[in-house]
Structure 1
Amino acid sequence: MTVCEQDRDVLARTLWGESRGEGLAGMVAVAWSIRNRVNDGREKSWWGEGYAGVCQKPYQFSCWNKGDPNQPFLSGARQIPFRELAQCRLAADLVIDGKVPDPTSGATHYHATSMSPAPNWAKGATRTLELGHHIFFKDVP
């Protein structure tokens, strides 16, 4: 799959919106869950096509939803601080370029540890990792 500059930028912005407080390891884990959706093996994936398509598919990553406080930063209406975006870009590039292994063991979903109760989709899913303030899952029914 060809990855364009827009894919890298949208993934980095998604990492800022979803995991900027989690350090590089947490951002890499979130990026891998997105990569696992991108590479799900289906010709036309439900998740969307490519990194930008997966990240920006409505209601998949709340940071892109209208009304979310992160959305103006992701859309470019407000500026993300340079150093923060640079760290997100590093995590995005490491994952896209296959420079780091998948710490999530194939996860396609995650939620914040603060979510109580857990989302309905987590019931019956395989928990693969808890890192920082996120819990990762695969085999989501």
Structure 2
Amino acid sequence: MQRPGRALARRGRGGRVVTAPELLALTLRVEAGDRPVRAIEALAALVVNRARLAMAGAAERERFAPGARPGLAFPALLARALRAPFLFGCWMPRHPRRAALLEAADRQDPALAICRRVAARAVAGALPDPTGGATHWHAAEVLPGWALGQVPVAEIGGLVFYRLATAAGPARAAA
């Protein structure tokens, strides 16, 4: 039986195998590694939310995990959700944080260790969701155009979270 997160293995820089938890940890390090642990956990929960929604049907799979085949294991869907267009700038080839993503993989620092622990919990299903089912986010210091008129469901550690309408129905207000 495979361990959680081992369903997806890619060759990274230098030919090393990169699993779904490692992809998530690297993303968390670059996007939120300098923020409080609660913010890192919230961002990981958002990725889990998107991967779970991708399991719901074809429209959700295409929206939240583009290119994923039906029946993919959860870690593989999570890895696809991580790399969905525009979710995390660090995955866009010309984005300034792209270099930081590649550098993070090659160094050992305390923030990356924290992100690895959070990622392992997220992939194993042991991470609570403090975002109320959020599917979108941005840093509090910016306001992207898509967020105009949207009601946040949570603000945690300088990150703002939203649950936008899905193909299955409209977003619900947070209780």
Q: Same fold (TM over 0.5)?
A: yes
User: Where do 4+ consecutive residues of structure 1 move more than 3 Å?
Assistant: 75-78, 123-126
Report the RMSD for the aligned CA atoms in angstroms: 2.3
- Gaps (5+ residues) in structure 1? none
- Is 1:88 aligned to residue 115 of structure 2? yes
Question: Residue 120 of structure 1: which of 145, 155, 159 is its match?
Answer: 145
Question: Separation in 2 of the partners of 1:69 and 1:80?
Answer: 18
Deviation readout 1:14-36 (Å, 9 max, x if unpaired)? 10111001122110000011111
Note the C-alpha offset of 1:126.
3.6
Note the C-alpha offset of 1:92.
0.8
Note the C-alpha offset of 1:78.
6.3
For these two proteins, the number of residue pairs brought into alignment is: 138
Maintained 8 Å contact 2:87/2:136? no
- Gaps (5+ residues) in structure 2? 10-18, 69-76, 167-175
Q: % of aligned pairs identical?
A: 29
What aligned pairs does 1:1-141 form with structure 2 within 5 A after superposition? 3-4=5-6, 6-40=19-53, 41-43=56-58, 44-48=61-65, 49=68, 50-75=77-102, 79-115=106-142, 118-140=143-165
Question: Separation in 2 of the partners of 1:134 and 1:96?
Answer: 21
Question: Structure 1-normalised TM-score?
Answer: 0.83
Question: Separation in 1 of the partners of 2:127 and 2:81?
Answer: 20
Note the C-alpha offset of 1:88.
0.6
Note the C-alpha offset of 1:65.
1.6
What secondary structure is seen at the aligned counterpart in 2 of 1:45? helix
